[in-house]
Amino acid sequence: MKKKLNIGLIGYGFMGRTHSNAYHQVKHFFDVPYDPVLKVVCGLVEEEAKAFADKWEYKSYVTDWHKVIEDENIDVVEICVPNNMHAEIAIAAAKAGKAICCEKPLALNVSQAEQMVKAVEEAGVPNLVSFNYRRVPAVTLAKMLIDEGRLGKIFHYRANFLQDWTISTEVPQGGMGTWRLDVKAAGSGVTGDLLAHCIDTAMWHNGPITDVSAMTETFVKERMHTETGKVEPVGIDDACTFICHYDNGSLGNFESSRYARGHKALYTFEINGEKASIAWDLHDLHRLSYFDHSDESIVRGWRSVHVTDSDMPYMDKWWVPGLQIGYEHSFVHQAAEFLQSLADGKPASPNFREGLATQYVCDAVLKSAKNKKWETVKKA
């Protein structure tokens, strides 16, 4: 029988559901070294925490996250709460010797992220940041193709993450559901919420970003604050565009907005190399577009690879060729690799230090937009 591994989940919202689903699914599809047990869930409202525990089969529920950390039976803490709470919980969990999986962005700002890295490294506890898009099979396939040298020298890596849900001036800031619009809870707007994903994936694919030049805009300058009941200034960036250089000499171009009418979660990237190009689109996440210049010219063109064959990343664990998987599976892959890393004693990736590298880019982006100058990115 496999050793049981007790999971404590903090936050039962959107991410609380994806992480719980992942731990339910993972042992059925992956040969994982542990049997994960959903031991305790923590959330703010008692009846909601109880209902969540019943629905997702947690053994217990609490409303104070300190109880999860103090519980000696908990092996892994999953941090799925708003960004302003990540640091305090992660640092306490590290001191208590727990393995930690923290949602992105790692922290509210660079200073908190640096303290989190120090805490996990001093305590020597396993740590992972939930940049789950790396684990979409088509995105992982892109990494494989780049690492095999199929693209040759890379010239361009561009990415967009577009939404449209905050266009109405009636959308409030703060509180449940709309904490992302409150700078005190989120740290930043689209930069930390959406571009952090694009930056993590871009640096995984194409290496470190060295410097950035950015602009941001806050289209709606004041919104009702749910907690105070008053109309207050909005401190987040509603839209952000930046250009950058990578260490390898290529150029980057990134855009994110919550004001792109018609787009719900359009994360796309395109990579252009000397020999080939790759493009990917979250709305069609099981496909990878690929252009190979070495093809005979009469049949050369963009091909759409259906990422379902068993020799493609992760796909041997799921159904038969031709049958695709979706968004939630990226979290199952994350859980599988995290559990394996715990058994192997090897760091999972992206760890907190890699999360800090992304935080440094976000910080440089926000500084550049404010100062209207190029900013150098600190190395993590």
**Residues in contact with ligand NAD by the rule CB under 6 A:** 10-16, 42-44, 65, 80-83, 85, 103-104, 130, 132, 176-177, 193
Choose among 325, 346, 283: nearest CA to 22. 325
Separation of alpha carbons 349 and 334, rounded Å: 9
Point out the residue whose Cβ comes nearest to ligand NAD. 13
By C-beta, is 256 or 277 nearer to ligand NAD?
Answer: 256
Shortest reach from residue 378's CB to ligand NAD, in Å: 22
By C-beta, is 302 or 327 nearer to ligand NAD?
Answer: 327
Shortest reach from residue 192's CB to ligand NAD, in Å: 7
Separation of alpha carbons 159 and 372, rounded Å: 21
CA-based Rg of the chain, rounded to a whole angstrom? 21
Report the Cα 225 to chain-centroid distance in Å. 27
Shortest reach from residue 197's CB to ligand NAD, in Å: 6
Shortest reach from residue 185's CB to ligand NAD, in Å: 9
Separation of alpha carbons 38 and 336, rounded Å: 15
By C-beta, is 44 or 251 nearer to ligand NAD?
Answer: 44
Length of the chain: 380
Separation of alpha carbons 260 and 247, rounded Å: 31
Separation of alpha carbons 260 and 266, rounded Å: 10
By C-beta, is 13 or 235 nearer to ligand NAD?
Answer: 13
Choose among 325, 350, 362, 359: nearest CA to 132. 350
Shortest reach from residue 193's CB to ligand NAD, in Å: 6
Separation of alpha carbons 34 and 364, rounded Å: 40
By C-beta, is 245 or 286 nearer to ligand NAD?
Answer: 286
Shortest reach from residue 356's CB to ligand NAD, in Å: 15
By C-beta, is 16 or 137 nearer to ligand NAD?
Answer: 16
